[in-house]
Chains A and B, each alone.
Chain A
């Protein structure tokens, strides 16, 4: 990677110390992680960092970031990350969010469309499916949940690096803390905001929605809803892919993201 190794920074936002991975070169791209936590500079991110400066903060209540037990919902997390953009001096970054991070990104765009440039939503929660349900991730043991998040673990290039080792007690405690924060933010209404759909038409930013055809966590039908509600959105559905496109198909995913962020968009 031409921009050198990513670095770890701590940026304090509203009294909460936020741990962030920063790396790459070019226009800033803010990346918001899902309920599984910040997995750092994985393969797709390294590829994207060749063209953009990737900022990947860890949400409050996850990893090495501080607590924010006062938060009640994803809208709080969205407001918080809008503040993070200011605190980190990112100007008007592109914004990419995955799963609950995608939901937060959609809320941010609806709250303050002028604060961001282009928007990438990857299998975001946030809308209630019209058919099917968002999987209740708290109802099943974490070990049973993990294989459900991808289409086929055998095809995930970084599976062994990310999940191959038995977790240490510290990693288990950190994962539990992240699950608690996710529960705090998403419990009821479960994984969606009934009012979000009313505000999404405000977001005229160019938007790319990416989904895995075999997503067993958030139905791909929600991707269709996002595409309909966001005035300038395209939906890209990856075949043989589950809920984690960035790590299931890192090269294809990075290509999609780069092409979208660099490309012309329809008016």
Chain B
């Protein structure tokens, strides 16, 4: 099983009491609490940590993108990919990913991902995501068209990468009369495609049909297994065999020299489970964004909100894994046995976890945990 390092690049640089005055940290928490000097320093720090993760031996460096929220100030996944492409040497760069439905120009997206792939020497893993409702509000994209735009944007990007230009694209959501991108990915026919999931059976089936790597985020094991079944259903429709290489899972994890230190550091993940997810359901899932089936599945997928769980419960349910290198390796092996996955994505820094703690965790993961789980 391969391990991936991930930081949301949080901006937890304000008094929590201020954040609590608003219905949500997303969309509504005023950006006068954005600290420009600290943000400037943090970006340097987060990039240093990615560089260290590359050197430590992680299989990949995962990056993502959110908007209008202090929980993640990585506001441009392709921009970060381009930086990592240049400052790292060996790890895969996992963009998980570009938020296709809010994108107005899939051709430009195809070019940007291709450029990052070229600069990195073919290390890009190109994730495509539907995004959460917050990004729909941020971009003012009609949530009714979320799935339609996701699929059409994907189709156009793939066409840019695999079919010679110039050509014309006249779809429902995208219209380009002269498509001829002079930037194509180094990997042929194109970078591997990944897609995450948390609640949508349709996305799992869609990914299964295409053989994309499918990664549920922070769901209970039984829900992940159910989503993997939908994935297998899609794969079976086209006669595709599913292997652990097709399946991944995302959790939060930190290690340290002692169990006590790791458990103390692991508390920083509680912020992303609770305060950063607080808010009206309309923010996360505006009207029409989910199908009826998706909405019903979402209700079952989260019988209890992550925000209602104590730190101990989050540990017990493996949403967070914190311990010595031996302990986390043991727990990762357990997750692997439970889910049969080939990729484990580690959200490995959060909230106010400091640089020294993060760096030591990266170092220990690379030295002890990566090799320990490599043969699983």
Contact = CB atoms under 8 A, between A and B. Distances in A.
Interface of A: 138-141, 173, 176, 179-180, 182-184, 187-188
Interface of B: 137, 140, 142-144, 280-282, 286-288, 292
14 contacts: A139-B280, A140-B280, A141-B280, A141-B282, A179-B287, A180-B144, A180-B287, A183-B144, A183-B286, A183-B287, A183-B288, A184-B142, A184-B288, A187-B142
Contacts of A180: 144, 287-288
Kindly list the 5 A-B residue pairs having the minimum CB-CB distance in the complex, ordered from nearest: A187-B142, A180-B288, A179-B287, A184-B144, A183-B287
A179 B142 CA distance: 12
A140 B143 contact: no
Contacts of B281: 141
A184 B143 CA distance: 8
Given A176-B287, A184-B142, 10 more contacts: A139-B137, A140-B282, A141-B282, A173-B292, A180-B144, A182-B287, A183-B287, A184-B288, A187-B143, A188-B142
B143 A139 contact: no
Nearest to B283: A139
Contacts of B282: 138-141
A140 B280 CA distance: 8
Contacts of B280: 139-141
B140, B281, B287, B288 — which one has the most chain A CB atoms within 10 A of its CB? B287
Contacts of A184: 142, 144, 288
B137 A187 contact: no
B287 A188 contact: no
Contacts of A182: 287
Contacts of A139: 137, 280, 282, 286
Nearest to B28: A139
A182 B143 CA distance: 12
Nearest to A182: B287
B142 to A, nearest CB: 4
A183 B142 contact: yes
A15 B343 CA distance: 49
Contacts of A141: 280-282
A203 to B, nearest CB: 29
Contacts of B287: 138, 176, 179-180, 182-183
A143 to B, nearest CB: 11
Contacts of A138: 282, 286-287
Nearest to A178: B287
